[in-house]
Amino acid sequence: MAIKSIVPSVLTKNFEELERKVRILENLTDVIQIDIMDNELVPNISVKVDEIKNLVTKSKLEMHLMVKRPSEYIETFAEMGAARAIFHIECSEDAFETINNIRKLNMAPGIAINPPTSIEKIQPFLNIVDIVLVMGVNPGFQGQSFIPETLDKVRAIKAIKNDTIIEVDGGVNPETGPDLVKAGVDILNVGSYLFNGKSVEDSWEQMQKIIREN
């Protein structure tokens, strides 16, 4: 059984903000997710890849590629030393090929699925990815309300392949966290909740408490 954990995510258009948040988070965790958006797959854009290349951190990086053509990004992130690249089944490229290319570049491949997408779309890939990221909101913006049907999607994936490592991203906070863990989620991805309170450290501890108690 996988050890339950928290992974923080950073979504921003500004490199200085990205670096500031990473400096805070790397003192709390050894894995940080960076959100990458192209304004095509999702209606928002993130820090440019050319800027992200300048990011240095002692934490492992998990790159969440909310982009139409992940092949245009993965080589750069491999060169940065990213540990994992997660792409969306809704992208325009062949999923088998994308998974193989990520693995060839010595990163762990993950596949993400948006709320409207049926799990049948990702079922053929469950045996060949390291992780499945289930979106708890429609991607593109932080601070959205959690979609309750996400819990059903998590349970359905676990019913197909019980040892699938599932990460949920979007609307994760102390209110939704316990139900997610009970549904079978292995990794709680926390973004806006961490930075919207008085203290990132206190918010982080609140999320860790959920893992300990559930």
**SS3 string of the chain?**
CCCCEEEEEECCCCHHHHHHHHHHHCCCCCEEEEEEEECCCCCCECCCHHHHCCCCCCCEEEEEEECCCHHHCHHHHHHHCCCEEEEECCCCCCHHHHHHHHHHCCCEEEEEECCCCCHHHCHHHCCCCCEEEEECCCCCCCCCCCCCCHHHHHHHHHHHCCCCCEEEECCCCCCCHHHHHHHCCCEEEECHHHHHCCCHHHHHHHHHHHHHHC
Say what percent of the chain tops pLDDT 90. 90
Span 77-133, pLDDT tens digits: 999 999 999 999 999 999 999 999 999 999 999 999 999 999 999 999 999 999 999
pLDDT confidence of 1, banded at 50, 70, 90? very low
Span 19-48, pLDDT tens digits: 999 999 999 999 999 999 999 999 899 999
Query: Where in the chain are the domains?
Result: 5-213
The answer to whether residues 156 and 165 touch, using CB atoms and an 8 Å cutoff, is no
What residues act catalytically?
35, 169
> CB-based contacts of 209: which residues, under 8 Å, 6+ apart?
174
Give the least confident one: 40-44, 167-171, 187-191: 40-44
The answer to whether residues 119 and 156 touch, using CB atoms and an 8 Å cutoff, is yes
Give yes or no for residue 54 having a pLDDT over 80: yes
Tokens found for residue 42: 């999702």
5-213 belongs to CATH 1.10.3720.10: no
Give yes or no for residue 180 having a pLDDT over 80: yes
Q: How far apart are CA 184 and CA 156, in angstroms?
A: 10
Mean pLDDT across the stretch 44-59? 92
Give yes or no for residue 136 having a pLDDT over 70: yes
Mean pLDDT across the stretch 136-154? 90
Residue 2's pLDDT is 56
Give yes or no for residue 211 having a pLDDT over 50: yes
Span 3-21, pLDDT tens digits: 799 999 999 999 999 999 9
User: For all residues of the chain together, what is the average pLDDT?
Assistant: 95
Q: How far apart are CA 103 and CA 78, in angstroms?
A: 10
Q: How far apart are CA 191 and CA 117, in angstroms?
A: 22
Single pTM value for the model: 0.96
Residue 198's pLDDT is 85
Q: How far apart are CA 8 and CA 190, in angstroms?
A: 5
